[in-house]
C-alpha cells in the first residue's frame, strides 16, 4: 500500500500509475475528486491492482484531519509500505517584498509542514511494514536559492533538512528509510504555471523519471536514507532490477 499525494496530475499521476502497474495498491490523494477518479479508472484498467481515492485540500487541512486520515488507513489496511509526498504549491515567482503572511503560511504549510506532519502521523503504519520508503519531493531552488523563489525555496530547503533529521531518528528501524528526490525541469502542469514562456514540451516527461521513483520506493533501495537526489543527474539503481513489491 503506497500513499501518493498530489496524484491527480503530472508526476503524481504517473507515479501512482507506475506503482500500480508493479502491483501496489495506491491511495490517491489530491484536491479535486474528479481528477482522482480519472486516475482511479486508469489504474482499474490496468487490471493489476486497486486504488483508493482520498480527496483532501492541504491548504485547509488541520492536524485533526491528518489524524483521522491515518486512523482510517489503519482501520482498513493496518500498514503503509510507502509515501510519495508529491504535492507542491507555488503562486509563481515573486520578490520577497510581495510575500504576505498568508503567502508564507500557505507555501510553508503545503510544501513543508503537511509532509512533515503526515509522515509523523503515518509513522506507526510505516513501522508496521516489513520494508517502507518515504520519498519527499525537493527542488533545485531549495539547494541553490535564487531571487524571486522566496517562500517556496525556503520550504524546499527545509525538506532536505527534514529528511536528514528523520533519517537519523529512524536509524534504529532498519525497515524504514526516507529520501528527497528533485525531479528537475519536467513537462508538467506545474511547470507550465511557473514557466509559462518556456517551451516545456521539449522537457523530459514524468514517465522518463519513473525508473528512479521505482528504485527509491522499491526494496532495492533499502539502506539508502537521509539523502537528497537529483532525479535527472544521478543514477541511483546501478543496474539493479527495479521492482517495488508492495
Phi and psi at 237, nearest 5°, equal -90, -20
In tens, the pLDDT along 199-232 reads 556 677 888 899 999 999 999 999 999 999 887 7
Judged against a pLDDT cut of 60, whether residue 194 lies above it is answered with no
Q: What's the pLDDT score for residue 75?
A: 79
Give the pLDDT band (50/70/90) at residue 244: very low
Residue 209: burial class (beta carbons within 10 Å; 0-12, 13-18, 19+): buried
Greater confidence, 192 or 169? 169
Give the pLDDT band (50/70/90) at residue 242: very low
**Residue ranges of the domains in the chain?**
2-182+210-230
Task: DSSP for 206-217, please give it.
Answer: GGGGHHHHHHHH
What's the predicted TM-score (pTM) here?
Answer: 0.89
Average pLDDT over residues 113-135: 96
Greater confidence, 194 or 36? 36
Judged against a pLDDT cut of 60, whether residue 108 lies above it is answered with yes
Round to whole Å and give the CA distance between 49 and 205: 24
Q: Which fold, 2-182+210-230?
A: Rossmann fold (3.40.50)
Round to whole Å and give the CA distance between 30 and 53: 8
Average pLDDT over residues 29-48: 93
Q: Where are the beta strands (DSSP E) in the chain?
A: 2-4, 26-30, 51-55, 82-85, 132-137, 176-182, 228-230
Rg of the chain over all Cα atoms, to the nearest angstrom: 17
Judged against a pLDDT cut of 80, whether residue 160 lies above it is answered with yes
- The DSSP 8-state label assigned to residue 43 in this structure reads H
Sign for the pseudo-dihedral over CA of 226, 230, 234, 239: positive
Alpha helices in 22-90 (DSSP H): 33-46, 63-76
Amino acid at each position: 500500500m503506497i500513499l501518493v499525494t498530489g496524484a491527480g496530475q503530472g508526476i503524481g499521476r504517473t507515479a501512482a500509475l507506475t506503482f500500480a502497474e508493479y502491483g501496489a495498491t495506491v491511495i490517491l490523494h489530491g484536491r479535486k475528486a474528479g481528477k482522482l477518479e480519472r486516475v482511479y479508472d486508469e489504474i482499474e484498467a490496468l487490471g493489476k491492482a486497486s486504488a483508493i481515492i482520498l480527496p483532501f485540500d492541504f491548504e485547509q487541512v488541520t492536524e485533526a484531519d491528518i489524524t483521522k486520515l491515518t486512523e482510517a488507513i489503519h482501520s482498513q489496511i493496518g500498514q503503509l509500505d510507502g509515501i510519495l509526498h508529491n504535492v507542491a504549491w507555488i503562486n509563481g515567482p515573486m520578490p520577497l517584498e510581495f510575500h504576505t503572511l498568508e503567502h508564507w503560511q500557505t507555501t510553508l504549510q503545503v510544501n513543508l509542514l503537511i509532509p512533515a506532519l503526515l509522515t509523523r502521523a503515518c509513522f506507526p503504519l510505516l513501522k508496521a511494514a516489513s520494508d517502507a520508503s518515504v520519498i519527499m519531493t525537493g527542488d533545485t531552488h531549495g539547494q541553490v536559492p535564487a531571487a524571486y523563489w522566496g517562500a517556496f525555496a525556503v520550504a524546499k530547503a527545509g525538506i532536505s533538512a527534514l529528511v536528514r533529521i528523520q533519517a537519523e531518528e529512524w536509524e534504529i528501524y532498519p525497515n524504514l528509510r526516507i529520501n528527497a528526490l528533485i525531479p528537475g525541469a519536467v513537462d508538467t502542469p506545474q511547470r507550465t504555471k511557473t514557466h509559462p514562456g518556456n517551451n516545456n514540451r521539449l522537457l523530459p516527461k514524468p514517465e522518463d523519471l519513473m525508473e528512479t521513483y521505482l528504485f527509491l520506493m522499491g526494496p532495492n533501495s533499502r539502506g539508502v536514507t537521509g539523502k537528497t537526489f537529483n532525479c535527472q543527474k544521478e543514477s541511483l539503481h546501478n543496474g539493479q532490477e527495479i521492482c517495488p513489491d508492495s
